[in-house]
Structure 1
Amino acid sequence: MTPEPQHPPTPSGLPVLGHTLEFARDPFEFTYRAIDECGNIYRLVLPTTEIYVLAHPDYFKQVLVTDVDEFEKTDDFEKAFGEGVIATDGNQWRRQRNVLQPLFHRDRVTGYGDYMVNATQRRLDTWSSGEVRDIESEMQDLTLEILFATLFGRELPPGDGEELRTASDGLNRWFAPTSWMLPNWVPTPSRREFFDSKERLRTEIQRLLVEHDENTLSADLQRDTLLSKLDAARNASGQNHLRTEEVEGQLLTMLFAGYETTAAVLGFAWYALAVNPDIRRAFHEELDTVLDGTPPTHEDIDELDLTSRIVTETLRMYPPVHTLPRQTTQAVEVGGYHIPAETQVHLPVLAVHRNERFYDDPDSFRPDRWTSEFENERPEYAFVPFGGGRRTCIGRDFARLEATLVLATIGQQWTLEWANEDTSLSFGPEITMQTKDGLPMRLASR
């Protein structure tokens, strides 16, 4: 007789509701408890589905690299991002990636450095010493302005992108844990906000496409941009052609992923520096020594060693995409357990990034851990803030350059002090890491 397939264990939960209430209250704490109780593979049981959670670097590699064709993007991505490159698979994904890739070649990315620094300076010109600002919101505004300056080829003055940012942020609502208790057709408040935001974003995207006309751009902006690339692809034939729905999907993806993820890294980096004053002091000393009062450029990156390690450690402790969802295309075996076809799988990035098996003192912010020796010894897929394999985030180099240059530009001129009596954070996880109450910082000019 053929033995029955062995399914992963499931942590203790409630009758009927399973893990729904505990997961909705605090998905991160639930994940930690489930791993402690069941090990590296377990089943998350919800009223409408079961999700298989794979919490080990070896399983990350299997899903993202070795058996990548057996795991596809979930339907939620298509719901949120339409036919954008973040949501598609197979030949459609390859066509889209080929159109976008030239904008993200490493040599091309370094050319965005001055635009990043100039946009940062324009926002800093609106700051006043002694005031308190929500640095989470500030970084979201700033990274949207940088997105326009670099990939869209146009300046977005500080304050002009509020409506666009609010609508983009609303895409998060589809992934709110509280909505997972109910089937997708139930119109929860989070889902209503999602659909409203998506419609507003689509209107803005169509307006951007209508307004785009390379012949009216100033000589200063006669360069390839995301808009010009997509406009060319819309009018191309063969493998380089993108339908209007695909073009809109790329803009939808870039508006969301192109600013919100890097904004999360920056916000949490400022928080980590504020609550670790010794590291912040060393950070300012590095900037004063390396930059000597001049604005940072991409050529300074190699010498900004501590600043770069601050970015890396922030990506570990606060990965902007805390969980990577996938769905099996066929029955697979992972770690000796059977996973059926068409089953949703979660890769809990945050849980692995904070696992003491792979990181000493994992809940402490320690940029100095990132030595060459440590990186050579660490399991490769124990650090996946940008995913892995062929689906690694196309904007990885762009995001790292942006985060490093923004930290350097602001840190040259300002010290950010934590402006709350309680230094702990509470999270409102959706598709990206966000706080529930913001990151209030008192600004002090240097």
Structure 2
Amino acid sequence: MTFGLTTDPPRPAGPQGSPLTGCLREYRTDLLSFVTKCARRYGDFVPVRVASHRGYLISDPALVGDVLNERTGDYRKVFMLRNNRLFLGDGLLTSDGEDWRNKRTEARPIFKASSLKEYAPIMTQEAERMGEIWAAGGTRDVQNDMMDVALRVIVRCLFGGDADIDVARATKDINIIQSRMNKRVRSLVPLPDTAPTPFNIGLRLAVHDLNKMIYGWAKNAPDADLPVRSSNASATISDPRDIGNFRDRAMTMMFAGHETTALALSWSWHLLAQNTEAYARMHNEIDTVLGDHPPTFDDLPRLRVVRQVIRESLRLFPPIYAFGRDAVRDTSVGGQRIPAGQSAMIAPWVIHRDPRWFPQPDEFHPERWSEEFERNLPKFAYLPFGGGPRACIGKHFAMNEAILVLSALARRYQPQPASEDPIELWPTFSLRARNGIPMDVVRRPVHAPTISQGCTAGTRKAARTTPDDVITSRGVCRHSST
């Protein structure tokens, strides 16, 4: 018998990897499959080493809440974000502590309820503009098209409705930056941005080009009281003291404010095309609610099925598929110790596909999102926008935009898969399709006939997996049981 002594609980099991690089090879090869296998094989708290960095994959909602809510002061943003300040600056995504709280307060007016109502016409206008492009028919990459719409929306909302946007140029720069961020997080020894490598030179040129666009939009804006700077009335691009804060806020809002929404829409089109029953329910609602007019802000509460489709898409393909927090002091989760400097890793990709919280977790069932289901769902089992005090400040903006854009386009069109080839997932900073999502744009009548909720002949079932399947970055593939 011992008196006055305490001991840590036994260290939980986890993947060993190689003595030199840990699980870097598995991490690089197929990140989504790797984290899924870790959770299935080892449980809700899994120690993982990737190169020299140590962390813990946490998959139980109660433990996630401990990190994001109860002990939020024990953590700061993960090193991957902090190491990308050349691009993101000192904005909301990279700041911590009092600095983060001040920046969050400054940004809050951009997303207040009255502002969201003002943004709605811009969202619908951009959807209708894309609808005119789709009128030509043919095969479209809906991922590119949704990026186009979402980027135009966020720039016009932040810099004024007349902002002139070179989408191709901005998208090219953002893709270069995404590739750089992805390469850095997967490197054995990440080089600093100051290293004069060809890749870093390309990165700096891309950031410089985006900076020029941001300052150009602000300079040409017709109104000095724009959302992106009205949160701090003294901040103007002519004031050297504030130019950095202005740029960082605008860059963060532009990047984070279009990527999540565009991908939610892209994956929604992909999933709907696999399930004609869900498509029919959504079309029936759109025809009933909208009739022959585009959606407005006042229509949002009645577009319940469209909202369910977006929520289910965000569950199956969360744009932010994994994120982390770095411990700033020794702390614990569920009785397990996390030393200072190590990370708590949270993967919505894993949690959203856990049968404990979501029956038939790998199937597309928008109707699951009933009020009763949402009431009974554990608080941190659904994390498309993060959770706790640092949950995404623009989540209502993103949901409103996704519902309005999907409704406006689905009112007139029903994109269908352009090929039978699987869509290859590409988990960079966000969860993209590596080669896009090609679809044939098909017109539909504004008032479609009502289809019963039962399956009809020819209905294509959603892609489904068995316990021996894992959806990987190469699509749905069979493999041995884990």
User: 2:204 matched to 1:205?
Assistant: no
Confirm or deny: 8 A CA contact 1:168 1:197 kept in the other structure. Answer: no
1:88-103 alignment, distance < 5 Å: 88-103=95-110
Alignment check: 8 A CA contact 2:263 2:431 kept: yes
Distance 1:443-1:63 versus aligned 2 partners, 3 A rule: same
Equivalent residue for 1:150, pick from 130, 148, 157: 157
Match of 1:109 in 2: 116
8 A contact 2:154–2:257 mirrored in 1: yes
The equivalent of 1:425 in structure 2 is 423
Are 1:69 and 2:73 counterparts? yes
* Contact kept? 1:322, 1:350, Cα under 8 Å: yes
Any conservation in 2 of the 1:132–1:419 contact (CA below 8 Å)? yes
Change (3 A) 1:193 1:357: farther
Which runs of structure 2 are paired with 1:136-175 in the superposition (5 Å)? Answer: 136-155=143-162, 160-175=166-181
Q: Match of 1:368? A: 367
Take 2:171 and 2:233, find their aligned partners in 1: how far apart are those partners? Answer: 23
Deviations 1:194-219 (A, max 9, x none): 663454234432453256348x71xx
Distance 1:67 1:41, change over 3 A: same
Pairwise CA distance, 1:420: 1.4
Deviation at 1:163, TM superposition (A): 1.0
> 2:28 corresponds to which residue?
24
Partner of 1:306: 305
1:147–1:258: 8 Å Cα contact kept in structure 2?
yes
Q: 2:125 aligns with which of 94, 109, 118?
A: 118
* Structure 1 residue 229: Cα displacement: 4.5
The TM-score normalised by the length of structure 1 is 0.91
1:227 CA displacement: 4.5
Give the alignment's Cα RMSD to 1 decimal. Answer: 2.6
Q: 2:176, 2:257 → 1: CA distance?
A: 15
Partner of residue 53, structure 1: 57
Q: Higher helix proportion, which one?
A: 1
Residue number in structure 1 paired with 2:478: none
Q: Tell me the distance in 2 between the aligned counterparts of 1:387 and 1:192.
A: 34
Stretch deviating more after TM superposition (286-295 or 42-51): 42-51
Alignment match, 2:397 = 398
Alpha-carbon spacing, 1:328–1:199, altered in 2? closer, same or farther (3 Å)? farther
- Secondary structure, aligned partner of 2:380: helix
- Contact persistence 2:24–2:50 (CA under 8 A): yes
2: CA distance between counterparts of 1:58 and 1:243?
41
Q: Is the 1:321–1:385 Cα contact (8 Å) retained in structure 2? A: yes
Instruction: Give the counterpart of 1:43 among 41, 47, 60.
Output: 47
Tell me whether 1:276 sits opposite 2:275 in the alignment: yes
Pair 1:45–1:212, CA change in 2 (3 A): closer
**Alignment CA distance shift 1:101-1:194 (3 Å):** farther
Matches within 5 A, 1:114-263: 114-155=121-162, 160-176=166-182, 179-185=185-191, 193=199, 196-209=202-215, 212-213=218-219, 217=222, 224-227=226-229, 229=231, 232-234=234-236, 243-263=242-262
> Contact 1:73–1:327 (CA<8 Å) still a contact in 2?
yes
- Residue 135 of structure 1: CA displacement? 0.5
Over 3 Å counting, the alpha-carbon distance change for 1:104 and 1:65 in structure 2 is: same
Aligned equivalent of 2:315: 316
Distance of 1:52 and 1:259 partners within structure 2: 30
Query: Residue 266 and residue 166 in structure 1: after superposition, are their counterparts in 2 closer, same or farther (change >3 A)?
Result: same
Q: Does 1:342 align with 2:341?
A: yes
Aligned with 2:439: secondary structure? strand
Tell me if the contact between 1:265 and 1:315 (Cα under 8 Å) persists in the aligned partners.
yes
Structure 2 CA distance, aligned partners of 1:225 and 1:98? Answer: 13
CA offsets per residue over residues 9-61 of structure 1, 9 Å max, x none? 22243443322112211111111111122111112222222221111111211
Q: Secondary structure at the match of 1:428?
A: strand
Counterpart amino acid of 1:255? M
Deviations 1:261-289 (A, max 9, x none): 11110000000111111111221121111
Letter in 2 for 1:438: G
Alpha-carbon distance change, 77 to 194 in structure 1, aligned in 2, over 3 angstroms: farther
Listed one character per residue, the Cα deviations across residues 375-423 of structure 1 (whole Å, up to 9, x for unaligned) are 111101101111111111110110000000000010011110011113x
Is 2:13 the partner of 1:9?
yes
- In structure 1, the residue corresponding to 2:134 is in which secondary structure? coil
In structure 2, the gaps of 5 or more residues are: 445-482
- 1:371 shift after superposition: 0.9
Q: Is the 8 A contact 1:11 1:37 kept in 2?
A: no
What SS does the corresponding residue of 2:326 show, helix, strand or coil?
strand
The 8 Å contact of residues 61 and 378 in structure 2, kept in 1 or not, is answered as: yes
Indicate the SS of the match to 1:319: coil
Q: CA deviation at 1:170?
A: 2.8
Q: CA deviation at 1:314?
A: 0.9
The answer to whether the 8 Å contact 2:108/2:231 transfers is: no
Provide the rounded CA distance (Å) in 1 between the counterparts of 2:210 and 2:318: 29
Task: Measure the CA separation in 2 of the matches of 1:441 and 1:247.
Answer: 38
Query: How many matched pairs?
Result: 436
AA partner of residue 396 (structure 2): D
Tell me the SS of whatever aligns to 1:111.
helix
Instruction: Give the structure 2 partner of residue 356 of structure 1.
Output: 355
Q: How far 1:225 sits from its partner (Å)? A: 2.6
Check 1:142–1:242 CA distance in 2 against 1; reply closer, same or farther (3 A cut).
Answer: farther
Q: Is the 8 A contact 1:209 1:227 kept in 2?
A: no
Q: Which amino acid aligns with 2:374?
A: E
Q: Deviations over 1:93-121 (max 9, x none)?
A: 12111211111012221221111111221
Query: For structure 1, which runs of at least 5 residues remain unmatched after alignment?
Result: none
Distance in structure 1 (CA, Å) of the matches to 2:77 and 2:418 = 40
